[in-house]
Amino acid sequence: MWEMGLEAMNGEAPEVVIGELLEQRGLTLAVAESCTGGLISHRITNVPGSSAYYEGGVVSYSNEAKARLLHVKPDTLDRYGAVSEQVAGEMAWGVRHLFHTDVGLAVTGIAGPGGGTPEKPVGLVYVALVIWEGEWVEQRVWDGDRQENKARSAEAALDLLRLYLEGRL
């Protein structure tokens, strides 16, 4: 899905489209990032006027930060690992609660070049979106280097949010 490209959005970057849609709907957003290290928040705040809908973000790189700041359950981390559908969902719920927003967006993954296993390879990423109506979590596996994996993960998160805001989820 993330590969849709800018042409499909009339030449506007996804963060611009998302900002317009959030503002039109009067919705607020918070982001929890792990493997992207703040890249999603960076892109969102590059849009002038983003303070109208963006409340803030958390880069929770360690398991301890995920548990302490986002209230990811230690049992979830132990059972499924930091890079999992379950942890991504709890991160999104946690950041939404922390910032009291309408929308929580989260990403966790293995950017590389190390850290992968046969079960969880380098490039494995989970992106989660939560709103009061429910939760969506998507899995991706990228095959790029660290920078490419981070960029693709940020793009995937923004695309998931865009699809929701366009009523396509």
Q: Is 90 within a domain?
A: yes
Residue type, position 94, single letter: G
pTM score of the predicted model: 0.93
pLDDT of residue 165: 96
d(CA 169, CA 157): 13
Which helix or strand (DSSP H or E) is residue 159 part of? helix 146-165
| 89 close to 135: Cβ distance less than 8 angstroms | yes
Q: Is 4 within a domain?
A: no
Tokens of 81: 């690992």
| 128 close to 89: Cβ distance less than 8 angstroms | yes
| 156 close to 124: Cβ distance less than 8 angstroms | no
Angle of helix 146-165 versus helix 14-25 axis, rounded to 10: 30
pLDDT of residue 25: 96
Residues in the chain: 169
Residue 86's domain comprises 9-165
pLDDT of residue 90: 98
Q: Is 2 within a domain?
A: no
DSSP 136: E
Q: Is 3 within a domain?
A: no
Q: Is 96 within a domain?
A: yes
- pLDDT tens track for 83-123: 999 999 999 999 999 999 999 999 999 999 999 999 999 99
pLDDT of residue 10: 64
Contacts with 125 (C-beta within 8 Å, 6 or more apart), sequence order: 35, 83, 107, 108, 109, 110, 139, 140, 141, 142, 149, 152, 153, 156
Q: Is 148 within a domain?
A: yes
> Which parts of the chain have pLDDT scores under 50?
1-8
Q: Is 74 within a domain?
A: yes
- The total number of structural domains in the chain stands at 1
pLDDT of residue 89: 98
pLDDT of residue 11: 77
Query: Residue 64 sits in a domain of what CATH number?
Result: 3.90.950.20
Q: What are phi and psi of 107, to 5 degrees?
A: -145, 140
Q: Is 71 within a domain?
A: yes
